[in-house]
Amino acid sequence: MSSTTIQSAGDDHRLKRHIGTVGLLFTAVGSIIGSGWLFGAMNAAQQAGPASILSWLVGAVMILLIGLTYAELGTMFPVSGGVVRFPHFAFGSFASYISGWITWIATVAVPPLEVLAVLQYAANYIPWLQTLKDGSPVLTTPGLGIACALLLVFVLINMLGVRWFARINNTLVVWKVGIIIIAIVAFLVVRFEPSHFFHAQYGGFMPMGWHGVFSAVATAGVVFSYLGFRQGVELAGETSNPQRNVPIAILGSLALCTVIYVGLQVAFIGALPESALANGWANIGTSFIAGIGEHSMAFGPLAALAAALGLSWLAILLYVDAFVSPSDTGLIYTILSARLTYAMGRNGNAPKALSRVNDKGVPWVSVMLAFFVGLLFFLPFPGWQKLVGFHTSAMVMSFGSGPLTMMALRRELPGYKRPFRLGGGWIIPYLAFLSSNLIVFWSGWDVVWKLMVAVLLGFVLLAIHETGWGRHTPKLDMRAGFWMLPWLGGVTLISWFGRYPGLDKHAGNLGYLDMVSGLVVIVIFSAAIMALAHALRLRGERVLEQLDQRAHPASGDHE
């Protein structure tokens, strides 16, 4: 069997190819622009001051590096759930399961997270939805009921199929981008103080140093606000021309949203009243409270700023968009989380029922699983930003396998058709893998240890699945996927030795590795894991077997 005989490997003809170029691009843009922009500008400014502008640029470059590797993979294998299925081709079932589990944990949390963002802004005019508990917004009992209902709406729309989704999403994306541009222009025109960016009284341009810049990248919602680029990969199996549409969706969405986010951050900083800066950048939220009311700042920072500037019409628009933007992103991630478990079912390392699709091409069992697990995230977690930090760390860790997979398949399938081929040899894949590890490190120990507990739960579930159904599941290829263990263990250990999220040790980390020493360790560590993964990769015929299995779905999973 040669690679030329399976050029369509992974094409899934049961899913409907109803998403065109604009639809796929708008899906990525719509997923990127969710709740992140509603809270990210203030959170980033509190952690990095005016240098938060650099946080958005650094985050964009890091995510772009990762996205470029997926552009090559996504055009080689236009399959739904690609982030899960690509490692399966290069490293086997064990590696793809672990990557898929981490990805799914991160993804299934997004729809409820976006619902929480909707209700957090709505609590300004419907106060019975949420209340403050230890300074963090949490759902009331009636609010919990509304949250569950909104999540159910996402499921019902998903059941209609991707054609209906694409029609709805294109309209919503135009609205979302328009509102952000209006907000940027309004803030710049009504009030813009250049002194906020460099005034020595406020600590200059970089009051928290590079530590603050990098912390904001990981935990202020910066990287979280870019992660939607992946929809260009995940829905590649449902677009009409993936070779053309996937690179356009990934690169185009990141470029557009970077310009928007940087513009918003500049406008936000310049528009802040002097009272907000009275106690320094780290306290702009609490300093602002005295003038506008506690609930306004806690539940809607951009709308609160608009109100403080006398832009009541803009505040109203922002409250409306605080429903539209997160709802659209929640809808997209409901689709995505279902495609991930669908892909794991197709890989054979999760129950086969998860790959069942209905007559509209929707993996309905996976959709329902995402709904019921998503309900668990409505428990009173510490707050939006804590959930964002967890999601970001998990998502970029799941992306880490992409660069390694790309290089492994280049070695084993050199003649395979690559409609988009990334130049630069090992350089960009290494920088992409390094970026993934750095973002996890910057997330801080209090996020990383929780993520690793979730990873351990995944190992337990895999052991149960293999014990009960191992005779009917694909070979794990433990040798090829062994690099996952030192990678996950190493990232955990480095984080424990690090100083992130702060210089104190309240989170339980040891604080030995600062920004520079941590960078040096991760640079060396990333190179070592990349070399190990490349050495352990599946070889020749085994890779072709993995591709051939995906190209011929088992009978009986359409229901």
The stretch 96-112 carries a mean pLDDT of 84
How far are the Cα atoms of 339, 443, 464, 499, 505 from residue 446, in angstroms, in the given order?
A: 30, 8, 28, 11, 10
> What proportion of the chain, given as a percentage, has pLDDT over 70?
78
> Higher model confidence: residue 161 or residue 460?
460
pLDDT score at 528: 97
pLDDT score at 385: 61
Identify the burial level of 266 via C-beta atoms within 10 angstroms of its C-beta, where 0-12 means exposed, 13-18 middle and 19 or more buried. Answer: buried
The structural domains of the chain, with segments of one domain joined by +, span: 16-551
CA distance linking residue 409 with residue 231, whole number of Å: 22
CA distance linking residue 228 with residue 132, whole number of Å: 29
The stretch 212-238 carries a mean pLDDT of 77
Identify the burial level of 189 via C-beta atoms within 10 angstroms of its C-beta, where 0-12 means exposed, 13-18 middle and 19 or more buried. Answer: exposed
Angle between helices 515-536 and 484-497 (to 10 degrees): 170
| Residues sharing a CB contact under 8 Å with residue 209, sequence separation 6 or more, in sequence order | none
CA end-to-end span of the chain: 31
63, amino acid identity? I
> Higher model confidence: residue 403 or residue 350?
403
If you average pLDDT over each of 68-77, 274-283, 487-496, which comes out highest? 487-496
CB distance 129 to 142 below 8 Å: yes
pLDDT at 5 over 60: no
pLDDT score at 514: 84
The stretch 293-306 carries a mean pLDDT of 68
> Higher model confidence: residue 209 or residue 300?
209
Residue with tokens 């409505």: 378
pLDDT score at 503: 47
| Cα-to-chain-centroid distance, residue 539 | 31
Q: What is the pTM of this model?
A: 0.80
Q: Dihedral angle at the C-alpha atoms of 361, 364, 365, 367, nearest 10 degrees?
A: 120
pLDDT score at 383: 56
pLDDT tens profile 136-192:
677 788 888 888 888 888 777 777 655 565 666 667 777 888 899 999 999 999 999
- Length, in residues, of the chain: 559
- DSSP assignments along 216-233, one per residue: HHHHSSTTGGGGGGGHHH
The stretch 454-472 carries a mean pLDDT of 79
pLDDT score at 20: 64
Domain 16-551 has CATH 1.20.1740.10: yes
CB distance 357 to 14 below 8 Å: yes
pLDDT at 87 over 80: yes
